[in-house]
Amino acid sequence: MKHILVTGGNGFLGKSICSIASRNGIHAVSISRHGRPKHMAPDDYSLVQWVKADIFNPVEWKPYLKDCIAVIHCIGIAEEIPDRGITYEHMIYESAKIVAITAKANNVHKLVYISAGAPPPEASEGYMNNKIAAEKFLRSPELDFDLTILKPGMLYGLERPETIEENKEIQKLLQDPVIRKEIWPNRPLPVETVARVALYSAMHTLDAADLYVDDIEHLSKKINL
């Protein structure tokens, strides 16, 4: 059965993508280390298959690339834990690289990559350096993907109440014209807005390969998902 594949599908953004896909009659396969989320409303994910697999071991998940029309790569981290091998290079750059190579080898030609327009406040410069390195790799002529890269800022939503509060504080800062000029281009977006655009991008070829916050917000108002 034709489907999309979402890496990190049980995460904040990934779950939203899977839920929206299911509501719109689109089958989705989520690949993540822990598989099915513990707290979820099953009716919101009726067309989602939750696969527990190590993204760095493609043998565990490449069978799900059969009949896959697009991969949406959502895996990433905000903070490193080097003692556990959780680094920006490994979780951002290397994960994107292995997903791309595996997808291409299994005849998947459409890839949507969730990058970033700006780093989280707690992140070091390695965060954006590895996002940019991943983007560069995905654009390789040898891969020749129908590629869309989303570059949102902070995402907020009810599933993570702390992001709602953070967004409220940022909205207050946006009232200052000087500060607004600096942070408006990477202003927070609802997680559902980014999820809808990511899903739409997986199902269509867009004119623009890179979608920044303004582009994401504009496109989200035009699509019916």
Domain of residue 8, CATH code: 3.40.50.720
pLDDT per position as a tens digit, 29-40: 999 999 898 888
Ranges of beta strands (E only) in the chain are 3-7, 28-32, 48-52, 68-73, 110-114, 146-151, 155-156, 189-190, 210-212
What is the domain range of residue 58? 3-156+189-220
Residue 105 lies in a domain: yes
Residue 10 lies in a domain: yes
Residue 207 has pLDDT above 90, yes or no: no
Residue 175 lies in a domain: no
Residue 164 lies in a domain: no
Q: Which two tokens stand for residue 163?
A: 């992001």
pLDDT per position as a tens digit, 186-197: 999 999 999 999
The pTM of this model reads 0.96
Total domains in the chain come to: 1
Residue 56 lies in a domain: yes
Residue 146 lies in a domain: yes
Residue 203 lies in a domain: yes
Residue 183 lies in a domain: no
